[in-house]
Structure 1
Amino acid sequence: MNVFILGLGNVGKALADTLRAQGHHVEGSTTTPAKVESLAQHVDKVHVLRGDESEKLAEASQSADVLVVCVAPDVKKTRTKEEREQHYQQVLEESCKSAANACQRVIFLSSFSVYGDGGEGQEPISESTPTANHDEPSSKYYQRAENHVLASSHGCVLRFPDMYGAPGDLSFSERVKMAIDYFGGNAIFGADAPLYAIHFEDVVASVVHAINEELSGIFNVCDDDNLPASNQQVFDAICAEHGWPALTFLNQIKAPNRKISAAKIYQSGYRVKHPDPNLQYLS
């Protein structure tokens, strides 16, 4: 199978390594020419392009059987709503629009932020739960990006919580310190939402599973067996451990307020392998 990976970051590189080991032909992209040489060890060919460069992407991926969109916003470019508006639109929506025009079968790595706070009710949030928070750029542009992918019957959207564990990735303690130093002690999300997190190896495994099982439609990807502690419980514990002031939760980006069901992808044969990384702070 020929696979094109839009965005050779940590997930993209690990995904490429796994797919090539399984015998697939893999090509991918970077926006940075200086990275081409180092990325060449992971893929059969590296292309230099942005996701919104639709003609370049169509030409580069013309032989692809499946195109995986692994682009992700840069958190340092999302300090204000205005910054998020521009950055999320370019990185997410335009990339998926280009990908959907280039290939019938697209897999997009999306976010739980599309659910907003999940709305009213006590039942677990599932793929049929309506999306929400349509004015917040993060949620809005993930939703718009998904719509481009799902316009094809072969499109697949994998919705994830925050990712951790990638090489060079910040630990949760380091993320809290960045919020204190870089964002004035503010967290743009809400205090009470369960702090779902997923190891990047589980992200990669879910994408490989989606490719090999030819999944289409929407799938939540998280630990389906356990409900994590809330943002405030975890981050207050981290701050207390280090003697830092507690964060202020601005609740600008609403997050699901209860259990998220991953039963659909679990029923297809996939399951998360890594435990909740934040249990260490609560013991």
Structure 2
Amino acid sequence: MRVFVAGGSGVLGRRLVPQLVARGHQVTATTTSAGKLGLLKAAGADGVVLDGLDGAAVGEAVALAKPDVIVHQMTAISMAHAGKPDIKHPDKWFAKTNRLRTEGTDHLLAAAEAVGVPHFVAQGYASWNGIRQGGWVKTEEDPLDLLEGTAANVGLKALSRIEDLVLKIGGAIMRYGAFYGPGAIDDQVELVRKRQYPLVGKGTGYSSWVHLDDAASATVLAVEQKATGVFNIVDDDPAPASDWLPYLAQCAGAKPPLRIPVWLARPLAGDQAVVMMTEGRGFSNAKAKRELGWKLQYPSWRQGFKAELS
């Protein structure tokens, strides 16, 4: 197949592109940096420098590639694009990413329609943001929590809008858990080692994780099977912060994380951090395993963190 990967040089794109190439697909991958064209060429892809917010350029790139499927992985979360992580102000930290997830999505969808691209796969999110009612582990049938009234709402609404638009045209949404793997959590590990990543309250909030290579393999399956619908792309082990954060510290050779009360965490770290750490809901991967035939290299972050940081 001819696959157009928008955002091919990001942390997931760098794992996805080689997997697609290895399975015989012809890949056109975009990057915002000419300096990364060599990386894409080495991975076996045709690289294109592209600003995802330039609608005319997106349309031209897609028309030249004539893809059978577009895979939307455009973000601007890295420090090079977004600066130092700011979990207290996700609306500011994710400002350009939110534009890529709104305007950028519109440009890709318009290009797909103009060229007649038959399939579309887009990035979603499923880590701690399940609806805060009922059990601690959610399926694709459960609503997401959009954290209305908080700084996180604008970004979560942008993701919800992508889902609506892509599902309307029969595409697939890959709701990835929190990424870890090469280049994905370096900033978090640094904070853990400095004891600047504390547990909030009792750390009862659940999160779901996924290794980049497993996220990429699930995406390849969705591409090849022309999958439709929503899939939670997470590992087998949703867990509370009180489990995964101390273990991450242990694997990183750091001291155990400090613990701070909710009343102090809210002004210091913001609503999103408090919700994630104290009330977050994780996700089930049963549908992706059942319908895509997805098999994980790292069924648990317990194996993955150790492998990544040893």
What TM-score bracket applies, with the shorter chain setting the length? 0.7 to 0.9
Deviation at 1:71, TM superposition (A): 2.2
Deviation at 1:72, TM superposition (A): 3.0
Q: Which runs of 5+ in 1 are unaligned?
A: none
Q: State which drifts further: 139-148 or 261-270.
A: 139-148
Deviation at 1:160, TM superposition (A): 1.2
User: Which amino acid is the alignment partner of residue 74 of structure 1?
Assistant: I
Residue in structure 2 matched with residue 88 of structure 1 by the alignment: 97
TM-score w.r.t. the length of structure 1 is: 0.82
Residue in structure 2 matched with residue 262 of structure 1 by the alignment: 285
Superposed CA deviations along residues 212-269 of structure 1, whole A, max 9, x for unmatched, are 1110110111234x443x1233324556863466155546224473452222111121
Alignment of 1:215 onto 2:227: yes
Report 1:1-283 matches (<5 A): 1-8=1-8, 9-62=10-63, 63-74=66-77, 76=79, 77=82, 79=86, 80-84=89-93, 86-103=95-112, 104=117, 105-112=119-126, 116-122=129-135, 124-135=137-148, 136=152, 137-153=154-170, 155-166=171-182, 170=186, 173-177=189-193, 180=196, 191-224=203-236, 226-228=237-239, 230-236=240-246, 242-243=254-255, 246=258, 248=260, 249-250=265-266, 252-253=271-272, 254-255=275-276, 257-268=280-291, 269-278=293-302
Q: State which drifts further: 67-76 or 198-207.
A: 67-76
Distance 1:38 1:128 in 2: 39
Q: In the alignment, is the contact (CA less than 8 A) between 2:130 and 2:138 conserved in 1?
A: no
Change (3 A) 1:108 1:263: same
TM-score w.r.t. the length of structure 2 is: 0.75
Change (3 A) 1:223 1:13: closer
Distance 1:66 1:209 in 2: 12
Deviation at 1:164, TM superposition (A): 0.9
Secondary structure of the equivalent of 2:100?
helix
**Number of residue-to-residue matches in the alignment:** 273
Change (3 A) 1:239 1:267: closer
Superposed CA deviations along residues 66-124 of structure 1, whole A, max 9, x for unmatched, are 011122341653522441462332132222222222224211121115x7342311274
Q: In the alignment, is the contact (CA less than 8 A) between 2:199 and 2:257 conserved in 1?
A: no
Change (3 A) 1:238 1:214: closer
User: Which amino acid is the alignment partner of residue 280 of structure 2?
Assistant: N
Distance 1:81 1:175 in 2: 17
Distance 1:204 1:193 in 2: 26
Deviation at 1:162, TM superposition (A): 0.9
User: Which structure is higher in helix share?
Assistant: 2
Change (3 A) 1:93 1:168: closer
Distance 2:202 2:26 in 1: 42
Q: Which runs of 5+ in 2 are unaligned?
A: none
Change (3 A) 1:44 1:195: closer
User: Which amino acid is the alignment partner of residue 162 of structure 2?
Assistant: A
